[in-house]
């Protein structure tokens, strides 16, 4: 559904993307006045830095309400994953940018996917280390079809190790490889000291920021040896002792019994 230019301007205020004063000032600007269609009007709003391109596209297509996730305002798409989409979101309370991960609507009624999503967030909330992507919040937000889970995490600007390998068209140089592995190992050492096992260590779950800092992410399969997570029990009930993890990287014992492994499984990966 494409909205009119008038509707577009109203939605910017309605969905708290911009103040009424800023929108009024924009509408009276030469850029806005020169727009001959809603699409041109939206482009003008982006050029005026009133909204981001992503926000303009969402409003233009009648999806502006989805830009508000609890107290976060979504500004950009950061990436797509197996369970949902990760956005850049601004915390309206603090002004800080976070990575906001939203569970895909199609999984909201699937017990296994919700358990994994909530396990990822709850495990992350217990962890605080420079080599692990931090999790700050787990919550739910009302959507058109009911409640949807979301989590707010540390925003890391960079690429995954897998993406880095594809960009380099080959293996890393030995010194760079040693550096990444050493940093990941420090994160795992801390994780294991917290009585947890990651169970899904792989290049796609190692982020490298613009300064070369490596951080482990995705705690959706984390096993807590102190059995503190109800979601871990839910995964066990749903999947039994079947193989959890990524086949190319898990050790043989994890492929046989994923619920009874320790930190050595992560070291193997």
Q: Is 257 a catalytic residue?
A: no
Distance from C-alpha of 15 to C-alpha of 261, rounded to nearest angstrom: 47
Domain endpoint, select from 113, 132, 153 = 153
pTM for the structure as a whole = 0.87
Residues 162 and 264 in one domain: yes
Question: What's the domain range around 133?
Answer: 68-153
25, 82, 100, 130 from 134: Cα distances, Å = 39, 20, 12, 8
Residues 96 and 57 in one domain: no
DSSP assigned state of 227:
-
Distance from C-alpha of 249 to C-alpha of 269, rounded to nearest angstrom: 5
Residues 147 and 168 in one domain: no
Residues 55 and 15 in one domain: yes
Q: Which residues contact 178 (CB under 8 A, 6 or more apart)?
A: none
Distance from C-alpha of 157 to C-alpha of 96, rounded to nearest angstrom: 14
Catalytic residue among 7, 22, 70, 200: 200
Count of structural domains within the chain: 3
Helix, strand, or coil here: 106? Answer: helix
Q: Which two tokens stand for residue 38?
A: 């809603």
Residues 162 and 263 in one domain: yes
Other CB atoms within a 10 A radius of the CB of residue 135 amount to: 24
pLDDT in single tens digits along all 269 residues of the chain = 568 999 999 999 999 999 999 999 999 999 999 999 999 999 999 999 999 999 999 999 999 999 999 999 999 999 988 788 999 999 999 999 999 999 988 887 877 788 888 888 988 999 999 999 999 999 998 765 567 899 999 999 999 999 988 887 788 899 999 999 999 999 999 999 999 999 999 999 999 999 999 999 998 888 887 666 655 545 554 554 455 788 889 888 888 887 888 999 999 99
Residues 23 and 77 in one domain: no
Sign of the Cα torsion 103, 105, 106, 108 reads positive
Predicted confidence at residue 231, as pLDDT, reads 53
Residue with tokens 């850029």: 31
């Amino acid at each position: 559904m494409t909205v009119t230019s008038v509707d577009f301007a109203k939605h910017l205020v309605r969905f708290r993307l911009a103040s009424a004063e800023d929108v009024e000032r924009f509408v009276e600007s030469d850029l806005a006045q020169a727009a001959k269609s809603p699409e041109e009007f939206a482009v003008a709003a982006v050029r005026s830095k009133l909204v981001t391109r992503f926000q303009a596209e969402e409003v233009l297509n009648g999806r502006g309400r989805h830009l508000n996730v609890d107290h976060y305002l979504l500004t950009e798409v950061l990436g797509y994953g197996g369970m949902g989409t990760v956005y850049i979101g601004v915390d309206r309370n603090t002004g800080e940018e976070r990575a906001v991960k939203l569970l895909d609507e199609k999984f909201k009624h699937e017990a296994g996917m919700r358990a994994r999503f909530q396990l990822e967030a709850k495990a992350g909330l217990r962890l605080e280390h420079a080599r692990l992507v931090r999790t700050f919040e787990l919550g739910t937000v009302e959507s058109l079809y009911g409640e949807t889970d979301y989590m707010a995490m540390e925003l890391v600007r960079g690429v995954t190790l897998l993406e880095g390998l594809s960009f380099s068209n080959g293996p890393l140089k030995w010194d760079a490889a040693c550096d990444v592995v050493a940093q990941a190992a420090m994160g795992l050492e801390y994780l294991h000291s917290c009585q947890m096992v990651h169970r899904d260590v792989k290049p796609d779950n190692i982020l490298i920021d613009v300064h070369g800092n490596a951080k482990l992410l995705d705690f959706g399969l984390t096993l807590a040896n102190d059995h503190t997570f109800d979601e871990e029990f839910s995964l066990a009930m749903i999947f039994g002792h079947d193989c959890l993890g990524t086949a190319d990287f898990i050790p043989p014992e994890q492929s046989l019994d994923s619920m009874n492994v320790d930190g050595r499984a992560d070291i193997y990966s």
